[in-house]
């Protein structure tokens, strides 16, 4: 799928959905997950590396909004050890 098509689809989805990202466009901002409340980068992806940037209570560090994020291992982001 051409990158322009993936970006267009992501833009359309982001109009009605929170937490939209495109896993096959690693060099764009669409590869990451941002807080829908303040646009803070909460999940950063680069290749096979993923970094979760959330507070100890699973809240966005930018605005404090608690985010309903479930990690690949099935663990809720709100139950991460800090």
Q: What pLDDT, on the 0 to 100 scale, is given for residue 73?
A: 63
**19 conformational bin, left if phi > 0, alpha if psi -120 to 50, beta if neither:** left
Scan for tokens 């709100």, then name that residue: 78
Q: What pLDDT, on the 0 to 100 scale, is given for residue 75?
A: 60
pTM of full prediction above 0.95: no
Q: What pLDDT, on the 0 to 100 scale, is given for residue 56?
A: 73
Instruction: Please list, in sequence order, all residues whose beta carbon lies within 8 angstroms of the beta carbon of residue 11, skipping any fewer than 6 positions away.
Output: none
pLDDT 10s digit of each residue in the chain, 82 long? 898 999 999 999 999 999 898 887 777 888 899 999 999 999 998 888 888 898 877 899 999 999 988 776 656 555 444 4
């Amino acid at each position: 799928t051409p990158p322009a098509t993936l970006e267009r689809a992501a833009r359309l989805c982001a109009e009605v959905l929170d937490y939209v990202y495109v896993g096959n466009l690693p060099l764009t901002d669409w590869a990451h997950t941002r807080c829908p409340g303040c646009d803070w980068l909460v999940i950063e992806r680069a290749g096979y590396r993923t970094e979760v940037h959330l507070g100890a209570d699973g809240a966005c560090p930018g605005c404090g909004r608690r985010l309903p994020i479930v990690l690949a291992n099935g663990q809720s982001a709100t139950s991460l050890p800090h």
